[in-house]
Structure 1
């Protein structure tokens, strides 16, 4: 939940940072439209927020409500935010300058600029740095308030987790998590077979399949014609489906026990597969995708500002891509990180192990691809994705994953109830436009 709230805030702030509609040009006849306890909301503030929300909806391809309704919704959200910010301040929530600095850096990274570049965009849009940082402070304060007063109240018992795990296990349709035993008849295709030879062998496999579907005994045909192991009726053994070739699993996933697949081609030849046994998983199985990447890190200093570090790594990247050097060599020479001796190798990493700006850039890469220079809170990086793999979670990790899913599913309802209570306790005075 924490990440979701922050991600939403970042989208809003990024829109604010780059949108020309946010320019704070003076508006004539500004007036107060609402007072939340003692905090006024002006017409100009509402207009700017309406423009920002309308632009954001357009960028996302979503239809905007009619102007009057959009203004009403925006004003109501602003009232809720003001009431919540007042509660945060009254109950001692404070945001220090380093936290604002980190949030500012995150927004800059999202926009692929350094902080100085972000300030330039703000200036072009008429947004002062002080106003922008105040907005960051407010959003961070709201995040901490929500963590304390909403997330902390969401309780998920072990019984809830057990029930959810059983439900997910019963609804599981992933064929690779089932235990299966397949038997096969193999019509072997020589490694250097010509297309004509392969076609003739395929016809042979088709005739065998027709005989099986016509009622002939599968086990007898295994003994007569299969080029694979003929013992035990050609059975390959009961095992988790992900230990079979994926083509075998996909060809048999919809078959019942005793049914026979269509012909499956592999490097060995043409296979006819029979489902001997199929068992659902005895426990809930979940997997995650791990990434193995390497990076070059240049730390930002007064002597090496972000723009200079970005330019240096862009040049390094161009030389690697051109084949004039390799990533590991450059990492050993340049990287100001403890992984430099290993050529920048970060090892296998699960989701959430790296800071968001780094992980988001890494997740966009395909294997062997190198990212453009990336600014993070630690400095400027060049990232190369080496490989990815799927890893099964341990039973305890699965329980925690399900528990977190339940917490996320209950967050919206808990937040709505809490926000309505804060709104009801606030004194809100709505004012009409002056005549």
Structure 2
């Protein structure tokens, strides 16, 4: 989400409206079109982001081709999302925007002001977030939900020393892609191209610029930046390739079923193996909100707060009034939780609330809460973390390769005609 904010903040350039009847068509995507102004807007947006990253501008002709392929892939996914009924309602979108703001330590109003002050358009930002959410939900439905990780796989992964988080790597990535079911000649030509790219990198070519120009990886237009990855989150061939690389070193070629990969080690970090979390023992009362009746819910929660301050029993009121049935039967007691286990607005209020003090009404996507923090503790959650992390890591490994194959298949099965 932080990267999404940075990218969209950079989109402060003037945007010529998409008048398809007046604008040159640069691509036909099934029954849809992409026009030149749309391509140029995306080119300028990504160039602004690359400048923020300190990546040199790539050769414009190749770069525009990469951006056009990116727009084609995005359009295909949105078309499929429409067919599959994947939509994002305003309530869901508003909740996501509140989360983005909270993670950047801003209120939603402050985030709107920051976007406008940076020259952006908040409504355009809002719709970009909606599009990204639709694509994410589509991938969840079409790819991620079909990935299974068995208990046996987790046990084997742990037995082999996985999920220790002993090292972290900040990597950049280039994929010289193979087509589906490649012929021997296509395999040879892909390998030859990968060798040429690596030789240019070793001779001093800018890795980010090269990724933008030639890579078919999902982060190509971000200069190939994969961000920080724990050692156990990397596919074994990737880990073998970077484990002994010097900083800023370029890996050997890494063949796979999708093509040939090249990695660059940007940074590395050694970390410990223990996982200690802060847990909070908290109790709450929830009054749910309904559309058009928000003021009524706020009035109810404020009335309950005054009754508690006047001496009425919190637990009794929670049992009789709270709209959270799971905790209401326990007098509102949620037990020991971490901020990651609750929605962001609740977590922020819980984190900042002094022990024993009754909170002001706290708004979340569920409604209004009253809460009291009973205790805090440091809890060694290493074993649970290792197992959850192992499962997530195995799922992420499968997801990366399956998503790349899914996108390639989506492209191959579509009618796409390019007019760059």
Larger Rg: 1
TM-score by length of 2: 0.50
